[in-house]
Structure 1
């Protein structure tokens, strides 16, 4: 028989056993370090704040921080990224992925200074839940195009901000986007400070102040072109070209896969806002082409001291303008009318409020149908004089007009009725409007 082969046994006291023990211990330690590192990374990805200064961003007003900022946005996707106080020189191109939030040291603490005159955007807030708070945006050179911030992600937001020198401060196209607690100062020539152009969005603009800008070089403070269920609240737009411009139009884009700001405006609600000292109109609802405007409600809104009409509702196209309602408006001291209509518009209602110290109070041009003015002061009141010419002008071609329970005293004349043969109901008005029963 062959001799038995001895069995080798390793003990912790043997040289081989000791080496094995060291190897196992090292492996365990490495595993524990890996687990700890993974846990730390997972913790960071749950929203812990990261200081962007640790990634080469200087914000010293001298260094061009563009490359460092954009690299950090890619590397720190999904985190809260904190910026130091200071001036960050920036050319744009930053993309915020889902849940990425940029947080500055306050709207006068951290400054993003745009170096390019016509970048397409500084920050594209692309991801769901992404946002920006606590920054000032300004221009190193005159802006001739592009946007400071593009809110296109679902539930994207910007808040606690200050903007000046913008050609377009904020472009809103994402659903459920929010603009809150902001200030706009001087815009670039031709500027539109906020553009709401994103379709069925459920968007909100709240607690925003624009102005005062002298000379008034902007085209509009807020423009709404393609939107549904947008709320504008507690906002003051002062000394812009037009305070609020609602101007949907026909798309001329033959490629349906390319986004366009053309469309329609539905269910716009504006409440507790000032549109004051506008160069043109305080509020202009002026669709063209096939653009339509349906269901707009203005509650406790001021449109005063404008260079033209306080409110212009005019259909310049083939679409529909229907359901424009005012509750307790303050339309005063405009060089034109408190409110003027034009073209085919229907279901226009004013209930309560003051329409005073304008050239005309209410001027209804041909094509208005279904106009109701009730419980309003159209003349002397609210510390203002009467309208200098006529309180209410009803042109030929206007039909179905109701005037009830209004005070029309103190105007140059109470009414100029050029459509006396149409459907009219005038009842219980003070100041020279005779009673007329609808046929």
Structure 2
């Protein structure tokens, strides 16, 4: 197939499947709801996979990076976790280009398909014991594929939801991107708790760690079919006329030339969310097990409860931002992360399950307020012609720097520097940078997207 034919096919897919910036006034509510579900649910698989990897990082480290020092194996596993994030900006450019040129839905379908295949393949990998050096090479290759996928998924779905929303309820609708992500971490945490509760530690280490990745094929297949079904049957009746720009420049060039300063601000605004999300909901389960001494199933149960709280709070925070403004909600939540992260980690280090649960729930509420509002606030910062590309680059660059490295940095602070509450200070510092950026943003709550 020639490149010109491929381009024509992608453009046709965009015409058939691409949602446009606003719903028509006559759009059925059932179509609106189905579009919201289809836009948000892909994040469930993306974050399910990353959560499962984080929760079973100890077993993965031992199977793919065997060492006499378990800390070295753990740090190696988290280094691979970080590697997936470093290709996310590349995925953001690729899927952002597809989303801006050919439509939001083709980008969503491609990212969901790539993630489904990569997640299932993770569960089929040979270990170092059976394949030698080939095993960690294959592991890294699959994590890079997953990083490319998630580089396009979250931002594309957030833009999809915000563009399709009633401006008066854009915060609530946009929060469903966060709900999809939080639900993925929650499902991963529940599956992890069940697996570690039913199997012995030796069974988990030998083969039980594979189960969450193999289960991903069911989630991925459902998501792909749902999105494809929606694109074929509902777009014409749901969305208004095509408003895609006629700019001859590439979306990447347009984004840099038109939105360069906004992209820098967006990057800074995301840093605090990136580190808090992946320290609190990915590394913390390992921390409570290996450092505090809780059983792995108990640590994952506490994490599951906290994630359930986050999932419940996300739409509430999104709705509050519609009423009181994005900037006000962000200032309150990010300020509290700056002030409370260190004390909360001191509380977690006490070793008692009830205070630990309380501390993680407080973190959950703050991260929910942050995570619910930031996607919509960022969508409102960029114009339609380069929105996918500008947001994908800003978001994924921040996630690569602060999110992907967060579990590894936190483990290094705790295990190498012996500062048990150190990750709390790390969160506070990056949240302070984000707070400064939030204070400079222009609040566009309720405005029409350009």
Query: Which structure's CA Rg is the greater one?
Result: 1
Using structure 2 for the length normalisation, give the TM-score. Answer: 0.23
Identify which of structures 1 and 2 has the higher relative contact order when contacts are C-alpha pairs closer than 8 Å and 6+ apart. 2
Higher strand share: 1
Higher helix fraction: Structure 1 or Structure 2?
A: 2
